[in-house]
Structure 1
């Protein structure tokens, strides 16, 4: 499956949901905001939201600092 994440093309396998994708990217435990095909997805449905071939994602995660 081919998807775009933050402007970069990725070929991924064994991913069905946004939750799966975040886990594979090492972001499963981090607070992130995910936009799928220009629509912000509520994090409560990451496990039910299907990832499809040619989807485009923007993922923003927060970094602490001061």
Structure 2
């Protein structure tokens, strides 16, 4: 399926947000994910079903000042 991640189209076979985040090899901490304008809590990633055309925003925390 095709989804948009940080304004870039991406093809994925992932069916849930948890599988998709795992495919991207994102760090386990300091990552927030929003889908269609709403933050999805990490505890809901395993049950959150991805759908064609969704807009996903990934935000990673950065250290520094």
TM-score, normalized by length of structure 2? Answer: 0.89
Instruction: Give the structure 1 partner of residue 12 of structure 2.
Output: 12
> Any gaps of 5 or more consecutive residues in structure 1?
none
Q: Aligned Cα RMSD in Å?
A: 1.2
> Any gaps of 5 or more consecutive residues in structure 2?
none
> Number of paired residues?
65
* CA offsets 1:8-62 (integer angstroms, 9 cap, x no match): 000112x111110100011152421111011111111111101111111000011
Hey, which bits of structure 1, 4+ residues long, moved more than 4 A?
Answer: none
- For 2:54 and 2:2, the matched residues in 1 are separated by 8
Q: Structure 1 48/20 Cα, relative in aligned 2: closer, same or farther at 3 Å?
A: same
